[in-house]
Structure 1
Amino acid sequence: MTNLKTVIIIFTLISAISVNFSSGGRRKSRPPVQPRIYHGRSAAKGQFPYQVLLHIEDEAHEHIYACGGSIISRDHILTAAHCIVHAKTPGDITVYAGTIYYADTVERRVSQMTMHPANGGYNNDIAVLKLKASLEFSDVIDAIPLAKKDIPDGAPVIVSGWGNVNRFRAAYVLQYDTEYSISRAQCLRRLGTLGSTMRCMRRPLGHGTCSGDSGGPAVHNGELIGVNSYIINDCGLGFPDVFTDVVATRAWILKNMK
């Protein structure tokens, strides 16, 4: 059995491509790249209206780190806690909504960031962001409900994000793929250990989430079931992808939306 402590654990944000700021302080546009994320598919406009892109500036305001997130109300975004550790203040986080392209569209700043107090040790990797101004819902911007109950083993789950399409290049068009729920026991057999609020999804070899997909959604039957947290060893390998379990953390999420 592979022990999680003996393999390299990569939070899917860590090796994400950071974007340099020009002297004028504006983000340089990324050039279009092959729109495939480990055998994923390009999303259509409005297909994932709950998906947002997060830019998190470092303390020096010289680089930003890209993450995903999900709209859970007009005023709140759900993401991974490790995504926002680079942010010194809520103002260092910008949310972009309503697009399938890695480009500036509807922009919102963040007024409050709340990480789970027990975050750490690859557990409770979840955070709620409050927006300074409410989002206006439309065909391309909408909230996704939080799942209330667990899903059966083998259930299909849709994951999405602008993460890497290979080891060196990130997506320009929002990508999505299908993964499948596995039981906690199955995951423990593969990983050796698993946090109490975490869950695993399996995918075919060569598929799955990658750098830059952190914080993004895992969705089953139109409900948010997971928040993208980390991968094992490298993208597209045979290990399960690990997500924060929305059902297990639902009470905390709702409390921190008030």
Structure 2
Amino acid sequence: MKSVLVIWTLLAAISVNNIHGGKRKFRPLLEPRIFSGRTAAKGQFPYQVLVIRENGTLIFICGGSILSRDHILTAAHCVDKAKRTPELLTVYAGTIYFMSGGVEKRVSRVIVHPAYVNYNNDIAVLKLNSSLKFNSVINYIPLAKANIPDGAPVIVSGWGQVNKTDISPVLQYNTEYSMSRAQCVRRVYRLGDAMRCMRRPVGHGICHGDSGGPAAHKGELVGVNSYILGDCGLGYPDVFTDVVATREWIIKNMK
């Protein structure tokens, strides 16, 4: 009999005092970071953004990637509850700090993949209400056009949990490695056609709060952080939405 693994989204909720203007003031409930990662340098990931969704006294934090001056790519489960209220979403670009800095942009439209269900096609395009200005710390990442080889290194980044207790105020990143569908199915049992897996050493990888963030290979976007199995750092594969499989839909909805 196959063991049953709990699927955890990478979404995190925190209590909010004030999230607009100047320094962002948060009282953490759960503020996760990349597990056992390294601290990013200023401008190292100019395509990385922080996506915040307001919900009364709580906010939900996710990551995202800059596709153009007007568009952000993130996970559908981060923003599907804001499809009719995009004004509840805020994007911060151009900073490696969770608590301060960067350029604040509001969202005018949320486009969730129409086939999003049970984390398959877990992807969404956000239309910003005003354009970003590209510079050394804000820039887009191109979408990968072809699948990467099995075992290829992939850089994941985000403001997710660094371990079970500690918090870092600075963007973290780590290296994972692509897996074939056959290898992944043996570990996760069921895999949607728009999902792909990355393997990582025990104690490493993405965690709560990293949802929607990028997985990049040689400067191209290959995946969007979707969910983990079991708990952070257990050694199971991390599951991403496959950018190559959804590339046509992404481009169509940027126009």
TM-score using structure 1 length: 0.91
User: C-alpha distance in 2, partners of 1:173/1:191?
Assistant: 31
Q: How does 1:60-71 map to 2 (within 5 A)?
A: 61-71=56-66
Identify if the C-alpha distance between structure 1 residues 134 and 201 changes in structure 2 by more than 3 Å, giving closer, same or farther: same
User: C-alpha distance in 2, partners of 1:77/1:207?
Assistant: 26
Give the Å deviation of 1:123.
0.3
Structure 2 unaligned regions, length at least 5: none
Does structure 1 residue 250 correspond to structure 2 residue 244?
no
Give the Å deviation of 1:30.
5.7
* Matched position secondary structure for 1:73: coil
Give the Å deviation of 1:236.
0.3
Q: Which amino acid aligns with 2:59?
A: I
User: C-alpha distance in 2, partners of 1:75/1:170?
Assistant: 31
Partner of 1:19: 15
Does structure 1 residue 233 correspond to structure 2 residue 230?
yes
Partner of 2:221: 224
1:61-86 per-residue CA deviation (whole Å, 9 max, x = no partner) reads: 31110000000000000000000134
Partner of 2:85: 89
Does structure 1 residue 182 correspond to structure 2 residue 174?
no
Give the Å deviation of 1:255.
0.5
Give the Å deviation of 1:2.
4.3
Partner of 1:125: 122
- CA-based RMSD: 2.1
Does structure 1 residue 7 correspond to structure 2 residue 29?
no
Would the aligned equivalents of 1:73 and 1:143 in 2 still touch at CA under 8 Å? yes
1:23-76 per-residue CA deviation (whole Å, 9 max, x = no partner) reads: x99952468xxx973221000000000000011011xx3111000000000000
Give the Å deviation of 1:168.
3.9
1:136-174 per-residue CA deviation (whole Å, 9 max, x = no partner) reads: 000000000000000000000000000111234443100
Stretches (4+) displaced over 4 A: 24-27
Give the Å deviation of 1:196.
0.4
Does structure 1 residue 100 correspond to structure 2 residue 96?
yes
* Matched position secondary structure for 1:83: helix
Q: Which amino acid aligns with 2:67?
A: I
Does structure 1 residue 72 correspond to structure 2 residue 62?
no
Would the aligned equivalents of 2:196 and 2:241 in 1 still touch at CA under 8 Å? yes
Structure 1 unaligned regions, length at least 5: none
1:109-142 per-residue CA deviation (whole Å, 9 max, x = no partner) reads: 0000000011012200000000000000000000
Would the aligned equivalents of 2:160 and 2:210 in 1 still touch at CA under 8 Å? yes
Q: Which amino acid aligns with 1:182?
A: M
* Matched position secondary structure for 1:100: coil
Identity of aligned residues (%): 66
Q: How many pairs were matched up?
A: 249
Aligned partner of 1:56 among 50, 53, 56: 53
* Matched position secondary structure for 1:85: helix
Identify if the C-alpha distance between structure 1 residues 237 and 145 changes in structure 2 by more than 3 Å, giving closer, same or farther: same
Would the aligned equivalents of 2:91 and 2:106 in 1 still touch at CA under 8 Å? yes
